[in-house]
Amino acid sequence: MNEKDNKFEESAIFIGWYEKNMRKLPWREVKDPYLVWISEIILQQTRVVQGMKYYQRFVKRFPEARILANADEEEVLKYWQGLGYYSRARNLHEAAKEIMTRFDGRFPQKYEDILSLKGAGHYTAAAIASIVWNQPCPVVDGNVFRVLGRLFAVETPIDTAEGKKLYGELARRIMNPAQAGLHNQAVMEFGALQCVPQNPDCSRCPMQNRCSGYANPQQFPVKRRKTATRDRYFHFLYIIYNNVYTYLHRRDGKDIWRGLFEFPMIETAHPADFAELTQLTEFKKLFPADGQYVFTRDKANVKHVLTHQVLYATFYRVEIRTENEALKEYIRIPLQALDGYPVPALIHRYLSNKI
């Protein structure tokens, strides 16, 4: 083995393992940058097993950038429903429009141009450029952090500028540029299947004789800080008017679920039972004292975990016979049309009787 071959020996081992163990996935069977792009965005926050059905449904409806660009945002969000992190869907939609206007409908091939698309970070741009066109752009995602952190026993925290730079250099150092796309997929798959976060089977690892973190894999990668989370308490009011209509509100602003629809909701700073809820100004506005209502608490304190937040949701079913002025501020829709609106996964689970 000459010096050049030896330089990329780690890459050869990863690729050899990958060719024997790779999962058969639809986006690996094509070299369509659009389809690779969709898969990479979905898999940023979703496991392959969970994301597969969403990917297939999404690309069936939006098989190319032109169709995605021409769609309404509400429809895009509806097809994204269940995947969470809805800013990804909004960014995809905007980026598809950019492809049509800035790149004449053709997916950009240069790394820098891909990076310029709405929502495309360094990882996404590197993944597409390398997988589709074999450009020597190393990818560094959670799986790669873990593999490299253990392989080189990196003490520098991954959540620092110094750490990100170091991991990028390590990723480039072991990449064989002649097989960039294959190498990147191999390392990512290795992290997903072999070098897993908890209890990796190091005894069967082809890298065990080279891995500096072999004795203590759980110590790597190192993180400097833990992300603080906060608790929030949501009280959803599923209002049913004459057994025909219900009411929705479209969320906006910079909070979670922007662009999705929800029932009228009251948020409290602390857990609150129904008696406490009735004393709030928002509740009294929705349900004036002179009205007739039938309240049923359907679900209480349903826990829903987001990246930096933990939601505790209580659902009330409210039957009414007359519509007051406050309810006219909401969108009134027929009950049978409810399924056509994009809603957060939490509400979808409630409506599907899965919580």
Question: What is the 3-class SS of the chain, one letter each residue?
Answer: CCHHHHHCHHHHHHHHHHHHHCCCCHHHCCCCHHHHHHHHHHHCCCCHHHHHHHHHHHHHHCCCHHHHHHCCHHHHHHHHCCCCCCHHHHHHHHHHHHHHHHCCCCCCCCHHHHHCCCCCCHHHHHHHHHHHHCCCCCCCCHHHHHHHHHHCCCCCCCCCHHHHHHHHHHHHHHCCHHHHHHHHHHHHHHHHHCCCCCCCCHHHCCCCCCCCCCCCHHHCCCCCCCCCCEEEEEEEEEEEECCCEEEEEECCCCCCCCCCEECCEEEECCCCCHHHHCCCHHHHHHCCCCCCEEEEEEEEEEEEECCCEEEEEEEEEEEECCCCCHHHHCEEEEHHHHHHCCCCHHHHHHHCCCC
Catalytic residue, from 10, 40, 189, 262: name it: 40
267 in catalytic set? no
Chain-centre distance of CA 180, in angstroms? Answer: 25
Query: What sign has the CA pseudo-torsion 165, 166, 171, 175?
Result: positive
- Residues serving a catalytic function are 40
